[in-house]
Copies of this chain bind each other. A is one copy, B any other.
Amino acid sequence: MDHVISARDLRVRDRAKTLVGPVTFSLEHGSTTGLCGPSGAGKSTVLRALVDLLPAGLTRDGELEVQGRPIAPGKGDADLRTKVVLVPQTPVVFGGSILDNALFGLRHLLRASREVMLERAEQALLEAGLWQEVKDRLGESAQTLSAGQRQRLCLGRALALEPAALLLDEPTSALDERSRDTVEESVAALRGRRTVLLVSHDPAQVERLCDRTVLLRPPAAVEPLAVAAAS
């Protein structure tokens, strides 16, 4: 089968204490999977583990394969993370303008003329539902954006990279219904082309977008693997 990411007995520890897992799942190419669980269950931690970006002090064990290549803990590299892009839960805007932020990843990863990049960034911001609001103020500092706008900016600049897999950590938590619908449409449009792992605390959203759901329960008592069919 065509598994973009597969994790077996993935577990994250803080010294002796197990924070998350063990959890086993695999993401098929082109599928959209929901990752659910109460606050503090370890959803964000799992996403970080998948791209090997755990905060200092936490260690992962269990097996992890990305596009068939095993990833040893601490050995994840830029190559892995261009294939699997994580959009963290807390939106981070960098110094510089809104445009700088929209181009943040592209500029480093895409060898193309500025026009092509601008076009791609515009397209991505459109998909993230932000373009209309910022198109007249692309040169302003990104620090002036509202929380929801930041969230969409972060999503947009990741979408622009067109990675094989996208890990979205509550991408619509700060959005109103209209923006949320725009984002959901864009995510839905990825189905079949890109693999998506979506963390969400909104069951309705998971219902709307995901093929399957992985449920994460807090402490050590995690359900080994709870897969519920959806959609």
A-to-B contact residues, CB < 8 Å? 14, 37-40, 42-45, 55, 89-90, 133, 144-149, 152, 170, 173-179, 201, 203, 218
Contacts and interface: CB of A to CB of B under 8 A. Distances in A.
| Interface SS of A by simple majority | loop
A91 to B, nearest CB: 9
Contacts of A40: 133, 145-146, 148-149
Interface centre among A14, A43, A89, A174 (most CB of B within 10 A): A174
Nearest to A134: B40
Contacts of A177: 201, 203
B178 A38 contact: yes
Contacts of A42: 146
Given A44-B146, A146-B40, A152-B39, A173 B176 contact: no
A174 B133 contact: no
Nearest to A146: B40
Contacts of A14: 144
Contacts of A133: 40, 218
Contact of A37 (B90, B145, B174, B176): B176
Given A40-B148, A133-B218, 10 more contacts: A14-B144, A39-B147, A39-B149, A39-B152, A39-B175, A44-B147, A45-B146, A55-B144, A173-B174, A174-B201
A14 B137 CA distance: 13
A102 to B, nearest CB: 16
A39 B89 contact: no
A179 B38 contact: yes
